[in-house]
């Protein structure tokens, strides 16, 4: 059984995860469509950046606490707290479990990438006026959304492996995100220093110019490339290596005979 099959089997065998999956399929497109149309009706966005606003909304909403982070922080955390991690390590290995969680992050990212594309198409087709969007725009959105979700998922996975608890991981993510926002604002506004390399902030460079701002700053990374983004894959490789090193040395609760 390969890693992807292993994770797909677990998801499909847990009814509560299937229910949440279906809820996400309904809620994400609905939330984004409502917010985009409300902003358009209030005159906050124009016809020219209607789809760009939607693309930004899909990625940013998908990465808030109750979508991608929930699937990573809570569900991987539950496996640590209910002994599933110990069971897999006992029957397989530390390496197998670790790689299977990377595969799980890949599946979550792919799901939200496809759901995001589906949401964007719905918004496009139900727009209150005729919209023109090139294939390149959609392909760029797919690429940017996937790498954004996958990058954030891997960082969240590392956080869960560090704390080993779904609740502590979720609270820790909230505290880290809030702290990063404060530090970034202080550095930018007071000291004129761009703290773009903050862990969760740097992932926003994939879909926001300079990693800050609102929907009007959504841009196609491949058209307006900047070198700062090169730090992200290097950072991810370092954090994954450090997480694996810590994981294989931590004391897992032994299984009873």
pLDDT, tens digit (0-9, with 9 covering 90-100), for 9-50: 998 888 888 998 999 999 988 888 888 877 767 666 666 677
Using the Cα atoms of residue 232, residue 236, residue 239 and residue 241 in order, give the sign of their dihedral: negative
Token duo for residue 28? 């994400």
pLDDT score at 135: 83
Given this model, what pLDDT does residue 152 score? 94
What is the spatial distance between Cα 77 and Cα 12, in angstroms, rounded to a whole number? Answer: 18
Average pLDDT, the chain: 84
CB within 8 Å of 208: residues ≥ 6 apart:
56, 217, 218, 219
- Confidence band of 158 (pLDDT split at 50, 70, 90): very high
Lowest average pLDDT, out of 54-63, 68-77, 209-218, 240-249, goes to 209-218
The mean pLDDT value for 78-102 works out to 92
User: CA 56, 59, 61, 64 torsion: positive or negative?
Assistant: negative
DSSP 217: G
Give residue 107's pLDDT.
Answer: 96
């Amino acid at each position: 059984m390969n890693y992807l099959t292993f994770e797909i089997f677990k998801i499909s065998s847990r009814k509560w995860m299937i229910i949440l999956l279906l809820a996400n399929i309904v809620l994400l497109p609905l939330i984004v469509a409502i917010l985009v149309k409300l902003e358009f009706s209030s005159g906050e966005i124009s016809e020219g950046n209607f789809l760009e606003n939607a693309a930004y909304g899909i990625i940013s909403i998908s990465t808030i606490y109750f979508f991608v982070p929930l699937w990573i922080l809570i569900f991987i955390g539950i496996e640590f707290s209910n002994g599933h991690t110990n069971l897999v390590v006992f029957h397989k290995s530390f390496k197998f479990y670790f790689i299977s969680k990377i595969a799980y992050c890949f599946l979550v990212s792919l799901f939200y990438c496809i759901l995001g594309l589906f949401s964007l198409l719905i918004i496009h087709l139900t727009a209150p006026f005729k919209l023109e969007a090139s294939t390149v725009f959609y392909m760029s959105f797919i690429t940017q959304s996937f790498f954004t979700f996958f990058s954030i998922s891997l960082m969240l996975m590392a956080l869960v492996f560090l704390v080993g608890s779904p609740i502590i991981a979720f609270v820790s993510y909230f505290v880290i995100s809030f702290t990063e926002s404060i530090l970034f604002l202080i550095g930018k506004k007071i000291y004129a220093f761009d703290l773009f390399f903050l862990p969760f902030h740097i992932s926003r460079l994939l879909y926001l110019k300079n990693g800050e701002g609102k929907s009007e700053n959504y841009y196609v990374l491949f058209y307006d490339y900047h070198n700062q983004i090169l730090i992200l894959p290097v950072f991810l490789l370092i954090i994954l290596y450090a997480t694996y090193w810590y994981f294989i040395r931590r004391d897992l609760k032994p299984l009873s005979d």
